[in-house]
Structure 1
Amino acid sequence: MDPRSEVLLRQAELFEGELLLAGLPADDLLGVLPQAHGWSWHAGDQTQLAARFAGRSHFDTQMPKGDYRAAVLFLPKSRELTDYLLQALASRLTGRPLYLVGEKRGGIERAAKQLAVYGKPRKLDSARHCQLWSVQIEQAPATPDLDALAQVYSLQLADGPLQVVSLPGVFAHGRLDRGSALLLEHLDNLPQGHLLDFGCGAGVIGATLKRRYPSSHVSLLDVDAFALASSRLTLARNGLEAELIAGTGIESAPGELAAIVSNPPFHQGVHTHYQASENLLTQAARHLREGGELRLVANSFLKYPPLIEHHLGPCRTLAEADGFRIYSARR
């Protein structure tokens, strides 16, 4: 059981009846709270929850419909995303409690101050390196407009400006990160055919690929519903069409790809998490056609070339700058 769930269950009498668990972990909490429902924006967690608790967890950027007697938010990493989620939950809880639970090192004490907009926050428990807070929603706020919270910025690329739209919680929200900036400079001479932007975020790479290779089918894959919504907005803003895939990792990708292009993530929440990136390197060959290419950007300190060469083929370094390297290998 996730330690945050354990803290909730120390106060189990508070969480009986119709309850919404927002951002819940993929543990047995829904089993212990049989009348609770889940709201997830993480495709990996949602896949596990749907398999074990069919019909009881909702994957989306919008709060699921329902008349809930209370709601719990499992603290996300982003402050902006926390603001959106708290407002979304509070908008449906007039006269009812809203709870916030999270790890101390994840900033739960700071985040608890965000509850003050809705009432006087109270700390209910502290255990398992986590804290549980609550607030009574006396006056529900308006339902937040997620699209209105988007940040838009323009990139001046060789083939013209690209408008990028990012939503709260998405990697490098409102800006272009250094790794993606370097990768954008090295997207020439990719094989023709089906192209995949793995870990698409706000869709910077995927949109650029579609514009540069208009005859290619382009797919954008991410684990996060807010990232996919951002990518959809970025594509639409630039008049582009591509396929969006909610996936747990490279295992969710199509086969017979001409190229996989990626700025792969290695952080999940407050933790360093390499599994998705390492799975990409070890399993890319299964999704690439013969002659297909894996091209990615990574921090220079990450020892990716040996993994790439063991599982795919000779690894070339195409560029290096600002602590990042561009790697390329063909099946």
Structure 2
Amino acid sequence: MDPRSEVLLRQADLFQGSLLLTGLPADDLLGTLGNAHGWCWHAGDQAALGARFAGRSHFGVEAPTQAFDAAVLFLPKSRDLANYLLNALASRLGGRELFLVGEKRGGIEGAAKQLHAFGKPRKLDSARHCQLWQVTVEHPPVAQPLHSLAQRFELVSGEAALQIVSLPGVFSHGRLDRGTELLLEHLDALPVGKVLDFGCGAGVLGAAIKQRYPQSQVHMLDVDAFAVAASRLTLAANGLDGEVICGDGIAAAPQDLDVILSNPPFHTGVHTNYQASETLLKKSADHLRKGGEMRLVANSFLRYQPLIEGALGNCRIRAEGNGFRIYQATRR
């Protein structure tokens, strides 16, 4: 069981009424706390929770409409996302309890200071390198609509410009990261057809491809519901069309692709996790048609080239810069 869940269960007698577990891990916590429901935005976690606890986990970027007597927030990595979630929960909990749990390495002590806006927080427990905090919401805030927290920036590619819309919690929120910037400089001579932007984030690559290759059918895939919402906003802001998919890894992608583009993720929360990226590389041949191409950017220290060669039989380094490499391979 996740150590944050174990800390919660040490104080299980506090959770007798209806409880909303926000950003919960896909462990057995819902099975132990019979009055609890979840709120999740990670497609893989939601699938696991739905299979074990049908009807007890809400999926999406907005809080569930059902009433709850108390709520627990599992502290996310992004401070902007934590702010949005705390506001969404506290706005519904006037006079009731809001709990915050997280790992010390994830910044739980600093995040707990944000609870002062709602009342007088106190630390309830510290164990397994985690802390649990509680506040009675004496000053419930006015709920902030998610769209009001969107950040927009302009991306100029050649003579064309794109408006990128980012939401709290999305990778590189509000700015263009260096890896994606390098890949954008090397999108020439791509096959036209079915294109996948894997780990699409705010939709930078997918929107750029649709703008540059309007005949292509663009598919954008991310495991995170906030990223999917941001990608849809980016497409709409530029009058572009594309399919945006919320799914867990390359298995959720279409078949017979002509191109896979990616700045693949290698973090889950505060932890390093290469599984989604390595599965993408190993399974790429299952989704590319013959002659299809994969082009991706990654930190130079990541040993992706052998994995790509093992899957597609070839791989070359197309460009390097600022600590990143662009890999290119073709399914033969």
Note whether the superposition's TM-score is higher than 0.5.
yes
Quote how far apart the aligned CAs of 1:91 are: 0.8
CA–CA distance in 2 between the matches of 1:252 and 1:54?
21
> Which residue does the alignment assign to 1:114?
114
Quote how far apart the aligned CAs of 1:213 are: 1.4
Q: SS of the residue aligned with 2:87?
A: helix
Q: SS of the residue aligned with 1:66?
A: coil
Q: Deviations over 1:120-157 (max 9, x none)?
A: 11000001110000110123211111111111100111
> Which residue does the alignment assign to 1:4?
4
- In structure 1, list runs of 5 or more residues that go unmatched: none
> Which residue does the alignment assign to 1:158?
158
> Which residue does the alignment assign to 2:295?
295
Q: Deviations over 1:258-299 (max 9, x none)?
A: 111000011111111111110011001101111111110011
CA–CA distance in 1 between the matches of 2:165 and 2:10?
41
Quote how far apart the aligned CAs of 1:175 are: 0.6
Q: Deviations over 1:301-330 (max 9, x none)?
A: 111111100111210111111111111111
CA–CA distance in 2 between the matches of 1:170 and 1:294?
23
> Which residue does the alignment assign to 2:217?
217
User: Deviating runs (4+, > 2 A) in structure 1?
Assistant: none
What amino acid does structure 1 have at the position aligned with 2:22? A
CA–CA distance in 1 between the matches of 2:131 and 2:160?
49
CA–CA distance in 1 between the matches of 2:295 and 2:190?
9
Q: Deviations over 1:40-85 (max 9, x none)?
A: 0111100100111111101100000111010000000011110000
> Which residue does the alignment assign to 2:32?
32
Q: 1:236 and 2:236 equivalent?
A: yes
Q: SS of the residue aligned with 1:92?
A: coil
Q: SS of the residue aligned with 1:45?
A: helix
Q: Deviations over 1:65-108 (max 9, x none)?
A: 11101000000001111000000000111110000000011100
CA–CA distance in 1 between the matches of 2:41 and 2:183?
27
Quote how far apart the aligned CAs of 1:193 are: 1.3
Q: Deviations over 1:207-232 (max 9, x none)?
A: 00111111111110001111111111
Q: What's the % identity of the aligned pairs?
A: 69
CA–CA distance in 1 between the matches of 2:170 and 2:147?
13
> Which residue does the alignment assign to 2:254?
254
> Which residue does the alignment assign to 1:41?
41
Q: 1:273 and 2:276 equivalent?
A: no
What amino acid does structure 1 have at the position aligned with 2:316? R
> Which residue does the alignment assign to 1:145?
145
Q: 1:99 and 2:104 equivalent?
A: no
Number of corresponding residues: 331
> Which residue does the alignment assign to 1:85?
85
CA–CA distance in 2 between the matches of 1:299 and 1:77?
20
CA–CA distance in 2 between the matches of 1:284 and 1:82?
34
CA–CA distance in 2 between the matches of 1:48 and 1:135?
30
TM-score by length of 1: 0.99
8 A Cα contact 2:197 2:219, kept in partner: yes
> Which residue does the alignment assign to 1:22?
22
Question: What RMSD, in angstroms, separates the aligned Cα atoms of the two structures?
Answer: 0.8
CA–CA distance in 2 between the matches of 1:265 and 1:290?
26
> Which residue does the alignment assign to 2:263?
263
Of the structure 1 ranges 138-147 and 321-330, higher mean CA displacement relative to structure 2 is found in 138-147
CA–CA distance in 1 between the matches of 2:236 and 2:326?
28
Quote how far apart the aligned CAs of 1:191 are: 1.4
Quote how far apart the aligned CAs of 1:248 are: 0.7
